[in-house]
Structure 1
């Protein structure tokens, strides 16, 4: 499901956990958060117009520990957790946890929701500990041996917070991907292999890759290829209806509709940026001889009137 266009973009070696660890510098210890009864917190702006990952699977969730559970439960819960926790920095961790609690209460039976909240608390503690461990890993010398140390250390850390069933369901596919990446790195760094031998060994890994991992690996490529075809169709004079049909055939009608909405949002954003950059240039020209403080104040006022706080953080990427 295309809940967000690039939310599931490709990640690097030791993917989800290691690549995301830097987001957890602000992660506090949050004891007692499961019992919080404070006023509801609005979802982050970056999640508006998206659908929570994992929530569909939770609709048929089996009871969690104490009543027997299947792997689907834990996998769906982690997707839901990560969907909301992707906004760390935009919102505080306690506020995000409160939103997850609300989603669990709305989706699960009370006993299931309580167990899921306990799992969330352990997941937050794991993420917090992972960041601390990452500080040590940054001191390791570069190379495949250091990467393997990271992977082994991450697995050892997870064992402190999750049982074998939970770990396999929540991280199993990620581990397979990391092991595949480590194997490819070993092949690439093996001086005894020539180019043909490397290609042959990589092809062997490709053939042995589980279908689920292959589908996850290829999904971003498929979207990029589809968008290339959409751009080519437009360049040839194709209408937006034709682009919609192209996407619907490759994905489904709802995904095509969401991509069309994103196109409209992108177009609107580009229009706003064009107007802002033109006005910014005019301000700088008019105040060319003014003190620096006056120019800064004028630009700040211009930004304040046209963009939200979150949007203003993106402006530097567009300014000359």
Structure 2
């Protein structure tokens, strides 16, 4: 297959993933971030940093870089990201506790008038999510083939209509404009897949047209993984040529920034430690034969329960 053909298939795969996320989450999932993208610093907090809201959030910072113009709240996707960060704790914490945690975070980051407005929007957002969940119970899963793109578009339109009950047009655009652009692009790409009247060349041409129409932020989001891949290919070649870890750090820092280079170096260390544990496990388990109890004990000693789910790929 040609490089252009592979690129086309990759774009279609990304589109399908985006539409599946739309169907499953109601379009409110925060965008994935590049592992090396330099994030602006979080706003300065007052008082000591709080303990993790729930155990699974240990080592993380609440999402969302909240903004305000004077006392006026900036209503944008960052506010939704903060809400969703805490709402992801459902199952570990009850909704009233989650809402209280969000309100405390708003009070830490915002001036009183902006915090009051943010709390109002939080209430509207929770009501919208409840209504969306109730409406979703009446929606059957999309059919395979051509029905999928049409069903995804219908669901997006239904969500946008539902938002009108809870948000002004400006609020809806601020909170959901980024996900709507991503979902609309994904659906448009799926519709190209479904259009059997197009030749492969025509489909690639229309795909390129969609690429050109992407908002700058979405173009950057799409380009970031390829830049990371290109860089890591350079890193592999440099290591094969005898480059030191300092050389690798400088190479990554030149391509991104020192913070990104540090994060990638940490990922290298974590991957190396993981592979060492895998090697130790394989060496030790080789002498245990079919003794499943002993093998499980070895797994428990070397890996957490979540890590054990990854072992199948190595066994």
Normalised by the size of structure 2, how large is the TM-score?
0.72
Change (3 A) 1:75 1:140: closer
SS at match of 2:233: helix
Alignment of 1:50-65 (within 5 A): 50-55=60-65, 58=66, 60-62=67-69
C-alpha displacement at 1:216, in angstroms? 1.9
Alignment of 1:69-88 (within 5 A): 69-70=73-74, 73-86=75-88, 88=90
Relative contact order: is structure 1 or structure 2 higher (C-alpha 8 Å, sep ≥ 6)?
2
Superposed CA deviations along residues 202-236 of structure 1, whole A, max 9, x for unmatched, are 22222222212211222233223323332332233
Superposed CA deviations along residues 45-87 of structure 1, whole A, max 9, x for unmatched, are 55444444323xx2x4237xxx6444xx432211223344455
Alignment of 1:134-153 (within 5 A): 134-142=136-144, 143=147, 144-153=149-158
Unaligned stretches of 5+ residues in structure 2: 1-13, 30-49
SS at match of 1:92: coil
Whether the aligned pair in 1 keeps the contact of 2:52 and 2:58 (CA below 8 Å) is no
C-alpha displacement at 1:174, in angstroms? 1.7
Give the whole-Å Cα distance in 1 for the aligned partners of 2:271 and 2:53.
21
Give the whole-Å Cα distance in 2 for the aligned partners of 1:99 and 1:300.
39
Among candidates 185, 205, 227, match of residue 200 of structure 1: 205
Counterpart in the other structure of 1:111: 113
Counterpart in the other structure of 1:126: 128
Task: Verify: 1:210 aligned to 2:211, yes or no.
Answer: no
Give the whole-Å Cα distance in 2 for the aligned partners of 1:276 and 1:147.
45
C-alpha displacement at 1:141, in angstroms? 2.0
C-alpha displacement at 1:301, in angstroms? 4.6
Task: Verify: 1:189 aligned to 2:182, yes or no.
Answer: no
Unaligned stretches of 5+ residues in structure 1: 1-9, 25-39, 289-294
Give the whole-Å Cα distance in 2 for the aligned partners of 1:236 and 1:48.
39
C-alpha displacement at 1:253, in angstroms? 1.1
Change (3 A) 1:112 1:205: same
SS at match of 2:143: coil
Whether the aligned pair in 2 keeps the contact of 1:85 and 1:93 (CA below 8 Å) is no
Task: Verify: 1:313 aligned to 2:306, yes or no.
Answer: yes
Q: CA RMSD in A?
A: 3.3
C-alpha displacement at 1:44, in angstroms? 4.8
Give the whole-Å Cα distance in 2 for the aligned partners of 1:121 and 1:312.
36
Give the whole-Å Cα distance in 2 for the aligned partners of 1:262 and 1:44.
24
Change (3 A) 1:262 1:128: farther
C-alpha displacement at 1:116, in angstroms? 2.2
Counterpart in the other structure of 2:36: none
C-alpha displacement at 1:96, in angstroms? 4.7
SS at match of 2:309: helix
Give the whole-Å Cα distance in 2 for the aligned partners of 1:221 and 1:79.
25
Normalised by the size of structure 1, how large is the TM-score?
0.71
Superposed CA deviations along residues 166-224 of structure 1, whole A, max 9, x for unmatched, are 21011112212222222222233222222232222222222222212211222233223
**Count of aligned pairs between the two proteins:** 275
C-alpha displacement at 1:251, in angstroms? 1.3
Among candidates 272, 285, 288, match of residue 267 of structure 1: 272
Give the whole-Å Cα distance in 2 for the aligned partners of 1:226 and 1:87.
35
Give the whole-Å Cα distance in 2 for the aligned partners of 1:134 and 1:232.
49
C-alpha displacement at 1:152, in angstroms? 1.3
C-alpha displacement at 1:318, in angstroms? 0.9
Whether the aligned pair in 2 keeps the contact of 1:126 and 1:161 (CA below 8 Å) is yes
